[in-house]
Structure 1
Amino acid sequence: MDSTPSKNKAMSKDEIHCLVELVEANKIIISKEANASTNRLKDGTIPRQKDQLKSKWDNLKKAAPKRAQQIRMNHLKTGGGKPDYTPPDETLSRVLIGFNM
């Protein structure tokens, strides 16, 4: 099996969960600092490219508030019929909580 990641292959739920745990455990990863020592700490050993992980993290940061807004809007709906169901997503909830601290 090829150990190099494909740009077209989507990240699995396990990889996304691992990414969120990694960011929670190491806040240096999302630090804006760009000096040599900080950059050494940011380098990881996961066989994904740095750009792929950064892009996924940015997408998660955008998706978490959108999901929270969708849930709020579903609760505020009036009129007939059942409100839309938004399935729980622990990963997006953890991302959202991490930025509301």
Structure 2
Amino acid sequence: MVDFDEIDNWDSGLSAALSPHLPNSVGATLETAAPEYVEDARDLLFELTDRDAIIDATLTWIRSTKIAGYHRSRLVDEEIAAIRAEGLIPLNSEARRQTDPLPRQQTC
């Protein structure tokens, strides 16, 4: 079963599924680019590879296992106030670059 919050338990399976479609330099290229958001990393990955092959391999991998699904919001008071004032805003890295009023909290 895949629990996306437990990356150490599933990253090797996804890596194995994607490896036939990735150039050897992809890891170093992504590390050098140091993308700010996950969407930026995805866009760079798609520039370096065959986008459709990556999507197909990922979907095949997802369909091959069970996925643990749950949701829990982790909001600070300022985020709750912003949602009440502005509503929910779809995730979009470009929008975050332009209007990211809240500081990011680092978790270890």
Name the TM-score class by shorter chain.
under 0.3
* TM, length-normalised to structure 2: 0.24
Q: What TM-score results when the alignment is normalised by the length of structure 1?
A: 0.25
